[in-house]
Structure 1
Amino acid sequence: MIQFKNVTKKYNDGSTALKGINLEIKEGELVTLIGPSGCGKTTTMKMINRLVEPSSGQILVDGKDISTINPVELRRSIGYVIQQIGLFPHMTIKDNVAIVPKLKGMSKQDYEQRIDELMSMVGLDPDIYRDRYPAELSGGQQQRIGVIRAMAAEPSIILMDEPFSALDPISREQLQDELIRLQEEVKKTIVFVSHDMDEALKIADRIILMKDGEIVQADTPDRILRRPKNEFVRSFIGEGRLHDSEVLHVEDVMITNPVTVFLSRGLAHGAKVMKQNRVNSLMVTDKNRVLKGIVTKEMLEEQYRNEDLSVQEIMRADIQTVPVGSGVTEAVEMMKQYGLSNMPVVNPEGQLVGLVTNSSLVDALLKQM
Structure 2
Amino acid sequence: MIQFIDVTKKYHDGTVALKGINLEIKQGELVTLIGPSGCGKTTTMKMINRLVEPSGGRILVDGKDISKINPVELRRNVGYVIQHIGLFPHMTIKDNVAIVPKLKKMNRAEYDKRIDELMEMVGLDPSQYADRYPSELSGGQQQRIGVIRALAAEPPIILMDEPFSALDPISREQLQDELIRLQEEVKKTIVFVSHDMDEALKIADRIVLMKAGEIVQMDTPDRMIRRPINDFVRTFIGENRLNESENLSVDDVMLHNPVTVFQTRGLAHGAKLMKQHRVNSLLVTDRNRILKGIVTKEMLEESYHNEDLSLQEIMKSDIRTIPVGSDVGEAVDLMKQYGFSTLPVVHHNGQLAGLITNSSLIDALLKQM
**TM-score if structure 2 supplies the norm length?**
0.71
User: 2:103 — aligned with what?
Assistant: 103
User: 2:59 — aligned with what?
Assistant: 59
User: 1:367 — aligned with what?
Assistant: none
Q: Deviations over 1:5-29 (max 9, x none)?
A: 0000001111100001000000000
Residues 1:89 and 2:89 aligned together: yes
Distance in 1 (alpha carbons) for counterparts of 2:224 and 2:208: 10
Q: Any stretches of 5+ residues in structure 2 without a counterpart? A: 251-291, 293-315, 354-369
Change (3 A) 1:344 1:217: closer
Residues 1:179 and 2:179 aligned together: yes
Residues 1:50 and 2:50 aligned together: yes
Q: Any stretches of 5+ residues in structure 1 without a counterpart? A: 251-280, 282-315, 332-342, 365-369
Q: CA deviation at 1:245?
A: 1.6
Distance in 2 (alpha carbons) for counterparts of 1:327 and 1:90: 56
Residues 1:17 and 2:17 aligned together: yes
Q: CA deviation at 1:109?
A: 0.3
Residues 1:345 and 2:318 aligned together: no
Q: Deviations over 1:174-209 (max 9, x none)?
A: 000000000011000000000000000000000000
DSSP 3-state at the match of 1:4: strand
Aligned CA-pair RMSD:
3.3
Residues 1:246 and 2:255 aligned together: no
Residues 1:118 and 2:118 aligned together: yes
Distance in 1 (alpha carbons) for counterparts of 2:345 and 2:201: 26
User: 1:164 — aligned with what?
Assistant: 164
Distance in 2 (alpha carbons) for counterparts of 1:357 and 1:52: 53
Change (3 A) 1:63 1:361: farther
Matches within 5 A, 1:275-314: none
Change (3 A) 1:227 1:93: same
Which amino acid in structure 1 is aligned with residue 188 of structure 2? K
Q: CA deviation at 1:359?
A: 2.1
Q: CA deviation at 1:328?
A: 4.0
Change (3 A) 1:249 1:7: farther
Which amino acid in structure 2 is aligned with residue 359 of structure 1? H
Change (3 A) 1:77 1:344: closer
Matches within 5 A, 1:355-366: 358-359=347-348
Residues 82 and 160, structure 2, Cα contact 8 Å, conserved in 1: yes
Residues 3 and 59, structure 1, Cα contact 8 Å, conserved in 2: yes
Residues 321 and 345, structure 2, Cα contact 8 Å, conserved in 1: no
Q: CA deviation at 1:243?
A: 1.9
DSSP 3-state at the match of 1:359: coil
User: Which of these two proteins has the greater Rg computed from alpha carbons?
Assistant: 1
Distance in 1 (alpha carbons) for counterparts of 2:54 and 2:321: 40
Q: Deviations over 1:318-366 (max 9, x none)?
A: 97799xxx974995xxxxxxxxxxx99276598xxxx97542999x9xx
Change (3 A) 1:175 1:105: same
Q: Deviations over 1:216-260 (max 9, x none)?
A: 00000000100011000001111111122224457xxxxxxxxxx
